[in-house]
Amino acid sequence: MSKIKIMDEILANKIAAGEVVEKCVSIVKELVENSIDAQSTIIKIELKESGIGEIKVTDNGIGMDYDDALLAFSRHATSKLINEEDLFRINSLGFRGEALPSIASVSLVSLKTSTGNVGTHIIIKGGKIISNEKSEARKGTEISVKKLFYNTPARLKHLNSLYTELANIIDFVNKISLSYPDISFYLSNDGKEILNTDGRGNLLKVINNIYGINITKKMIEIKNNDDEYEIYGYISMPEVTKSTRNSIVTIVNGRVVKNQEINKIINESYHTYKPDDRYPIVILKITVDTSLTDVNIHPTKQDIKFGKIEELKELISSTIKKALDEKMLIPKIENNVSEIPLYNKIKPVKEENTFLNVNLNENQDLNIIEKKENEEIKLDLDYIKEETESYQKNIVEPENKVPVMYPVGLVKGTYIICQNEDGMFLIDQHAANERINYEYYYNELTNGSEEIEMLIPMNIELPYNEYLIVKQNIEILRGMKFNIEEFGINSFIIRSHPIWLPNGNEGVAIKKIIELIVTKEKDFDKNKFNDRVAMTVSCKASIKANDNISIDEMETLVNRLRKCKNPYTCPHGRPTIIFYSNYELEKLFKRSM
């Protein structure tokens, strides 16, 4: 008798549910993506107890007729793939036909759907149809999921807390609303509105809904294309950063994806503009022929493979760097209370800065929902753009990146006070000097430099393992204009060095460079190595905090900073300069209310 048998369909769906339905957000994701594929323009997501009690998604899409509604709960039933060739040109968010049967196998599902004629109402519990009857003919689909994992208690036990489940759902709905600004998304939990977008196609308005006006004003629009790819979106100014990469939202042909290579190139494009452990807010839309991508590499379809990815990385990097290079990036101090963006608001209360408020009643047709402006804020896209453009001026000459200003004193031996007709500037003298030195040293390392003989040759003795590494990479040092030779056991002698080494700190700088050689990466990149050397040496060569300098020295420092390619941050990403406008100063002293 054969020991191998074909699995029961319900058992197979429960197993598939282990991959498709990991938590509440998995269900929201699958249902919302189905609504998008159904050409919906309004999608309403209602949660009870963060989705553990109930998840209900209602849309105004094309709906399903009776036969399709029944077939939708069969495994691998889909309208999105017809033959094998379609797998290589996927234009829909869903395509495997696993989501609905997997969800239905571990929950109680109620489906109401109609194409505009007679509606269908199906109730399925644990994968078995309980009832099947006619319903109202409102075009679209309403699907409710209750009693999640009631028949798989081990999985129910391992669901996260209500707080975490809701946070995950908010994160997904935020990102999908950024992907489709032309669709109105409404999200509520226990009857309390969390997110509401207007669906008018303005990406900047959706950003405002999620992050608030203060961050929206500090977003920079980017747009570019090459022969294969087209990119569009918004990137934050370097002063606006997050502690995780979660705010880097990459959207490929309408699908939110996570690709490590793309995230890495986006982050590296901000090099020296921000600290290494902070990440920008980026909403990047990538449009490409579907034949150059593969989304069928992970059960969640969130990872993606690109053809010609090097071309895409170069396009992204050059576009972001150009956008940052062309903007005035001096942080402007504003006298107001910082907003808490919806992105971080897990407590489901109404967002005061949401300028669109939709009243949704149970008996109201989604096609005739009235959208009205929030009178408390009265913001629109033109206002946001006007505020943003007045602050971000295009730059032509390097000297214009920092306006002309006049030093008047020093605070705490560290911060230079400058002024001009627009207001007051504070400059961190160490950070500013470090940026000046960094760009000088990096240019010398990249373009070559003269060398100078040492009056007394310098002997460096190393542990044997470090000695072997330096010996193996000695040509890197010679290429930097070091005259270095082996000198006895575990030792090297340096007779000359590049002329740019900081005067008086040559020995310290040489030892730091030797340390960088010892810790050299396996895949050596000369540009990255030069960057690290310049950063290391510039820090040692710069004015320190509590070093009192004269007004003339301050003027020289400011004038040199104005000539830098990036005068806004030190090489480690800390700001060099901040600005108080005349208006903000008057507000602080109650001269202007």
Q: Is the pLDDT of residue 245 over 60?
A: yes
Q: Is the pLDDT of residue 340 over 50?
A: no
In the 8-state DSSP scheme, what is residue 402? S
Residue 297 pLDDT grade (very low, low, confident, very high; cuts 50, 70, 90) = low
pLDDT: which is higher, 152 or 388: 152
What's the average model confidence in pLDDT over 522-544? 86
User: What does the pLDDT read at residue 489?
Assistant: 85
User: What does the pLDDT read at residue 555?
Assistant: 95
Q: Which of 147-161, 273-287, 456-470 has the lowest mean pLDDT?
A: 147-161
Q: Are 227 and 263 in contact (CB under 8 A)?
A: no
Question: For the purposes of burial, counting CB atoms within 10 Å of the CB of 213, is it exposed (0-12), middle (13-18) or buried (19 or more)?
Answer: middle
> Using CA of residue 143, residue 144, residue 149, residue 155, what is the dihedral sign?
positive
Q: Which of 198, 182, 180 is nearest to 354 (CA)?
A: 198
Q: Can you list the domains of the chain with their CATH numbers?
A: 9-196 (3.30.565.10), 213-325 (3.30.230.10), 396-593 (3.30.1540.20)
Q: Is the pLDDT of residue 190 over 90?
A: yes
| CA–CA distance, 173 with 64 (Å, rounded to integer) | 24
Q: Is the pLDDT of residue 76 over 60?
A: no
Q: Is the pLDDT of residue 121 over 90?
A: yes
Q: Is the pLDDT of residue 551 over 90?
A: yes
Q: Is the pLDDT of residue 339 over 70?
A: no
Q: Which tens digits make up the pLDDT trace of 94-119? A: 444 477 888 888 889 999 999 988 89
User: What does the pLDDT read at residue 266?
Assistant: 96
User: What does the pLDDT read at residue 93?
Assistant: 65
Q: Which amino acid is at 460?
A: I
Residue 588 pLDDT grade (very low, low, confident, very high; cuts 50, 70, 90) = confident
User: What does the pLDDT read at residue 299?
Assistant: 54
User: What does the pLDDT read at residue 10?
Assistant: 54
Q: To the nearest whole number, what is the mean pLDDT of the chain?
A: 82
User: What does the pLDDT read at residue 67?
Assistant: 85
Ranges of beta strands (E only) in 33-183 are 42-48, 54-59, 108-114, 119-125, 128-135, 140-146
Q: Is the pLDDT of residue 280 over 70?
A: yes
Instruction: Among 221-230, 440-449, 480-489, 583-592, name the most confident range.
Output: 221-230
| CA–CA distance, 204 with 66 (Å, rounded to integer) | 40
What's the average model confidence in pLDDT over 546-559? 93
Q: Which tens digits make up the pLDDT trace of 50-59? A: 999 999 999 9
Q: Is the pLDDT of residue 294 over 80?
A: no
- What are the two backbone dihedrals, phi and then psi, of residue 79, each rounded to the nearest 5 degrees? -100, 5
pLDDT: which is higher, 409 or 349: 409
